[in-house]
Amino acid sequence: MRVADIRFVLVGTQHPGNIGAVARAMKNMALERLVLVRPREFPHPEALSRASGADDVLASARVVGSLAEAIGDCGYVVATTAREREHNHRVIDVRDGAVRINAEAARGPVAVLFGAERAGLSNEEIDAAHALLRIPANPAYTSLNIAMAAQLIAYEIYRAQGARIEAPPRGAVPLATPAEMERLYEHLGQVLGEIGFRDRTTSGTNLMQRLRRLFQRAEPDQNEANILRGILASVQGKRRVAGSKCPPRAP
């Protein structure tokens, strides 16, 4: 699920490990275009180590001398910042921004700008952006590590493309039928009576009803229902063996 050109542009990154961590975050979310503007150290072994398998993103990363060179062909540019800026900048939530980024990427290259670790983006660098991208965070501590911010933004972009976790299909064994479930409930009620487990609720009539609801929510298949009944039968067998060893009570 890849769009034409969504590039992450890191400006003045000081720690090479952060470059590798951003590359990994990008690859997790099917992004591959990384541009580095005046990085302090790159290439670097720590960047490769932190990339943890995203070596291809690092290998294809472009290193340029200016922000203008990094975004010169981009139609839409957003800047990431946690600091309050002048009110004449448009500020958009990261989730809304991800939708806009994907829409603009269908028309042409898009850049997401990240500043240096300590100072972030300068006012001049932010002026090159159409909007400021904000990630909701604790108002008392809004600053995110660059790799964390990259991961969150990359995730929102990927999610906005329609990515979802599909529940794995159930196995070939069919669900237990109502008749099989009824036999399970009868067996369960019998065992509860044998072991002296009583309903402790005020009315004293809700236990089996609640247990029925529990198992209905679980949606056991036929094998699972049989396993449960096997456990109940084993409990009964153990009780019979234990009972046979007890001396008879005196009349």
pLDDT in tens, 116-138: 998 899 999 999 999 999 999 99
Least confident of 97-106, 142-151, 237-246: 237-246
The per-residue pLDDT for 100 is 97
* CA 26 and chain centroid, separation: 14
The per-residue pLDDT for 250 is 47
Least confident of 61-70, 150-159, 171-180, 204-213: 204-213
Model confidence at 4, in pLDDT bands (50, 70, 90)?
low
The per-residue pLDDT for 3 is 46
Residue 22 clears pLDDT 50, i.e. is over it: yes
The CA-CA-CA angle for residues 198, 199, 201, to 5°, reads: 145
The per-residue pLDDT for 82 is 77
Residue 185 clears pLDDT 80, i.e. is over it: yes
Domains of the chain: 6-160 (3.40.1280.10), 178-244 (1.10.8.590)
How would you list the strands of the sheet with 76-80, edge to edge?
62-64, 33-37, 6-11, 110-114, 76-80, 131-134, 91-93
Nearest Cα residue to 111 out of 12, 223, 194, 35? 35
AA letter at 160: A
Mean pLDDT of 9-23: 98
The per-residue pLDDT for 199 is 79
Backbone angles phi, psi at 93, to 5 degrees: -65, 145
Q: What is the DSSP string of 53-81?
A: T-HHHHHT-EEES-HHHHHTT-SEEEEE-
Q: Which two tokens stand for residue 182?
A: 């009824």
Mean pLDDT of 47-74: 97
* Burial (0-12, 13-18, 19+ Cβ within 10 Å), 210: exposed
Rounded-to-integer distance, Cα 35 and Cα 37, Å: 7
Nearest Cα residue to 192 out of 235, 234, 223? 235
Residue 184 clears pLDDT 90, i.e. is over it: yes
**What are the beta bridge partners of residue 64?**
37
Residue 246 clears pLDDT 60, i.e. is over it: no
Give exposure, 44-73, as e/b (b: 16+ Cβ within 10 Å).
Answer: bebbbebbeebeebbeebeebeebeebbee
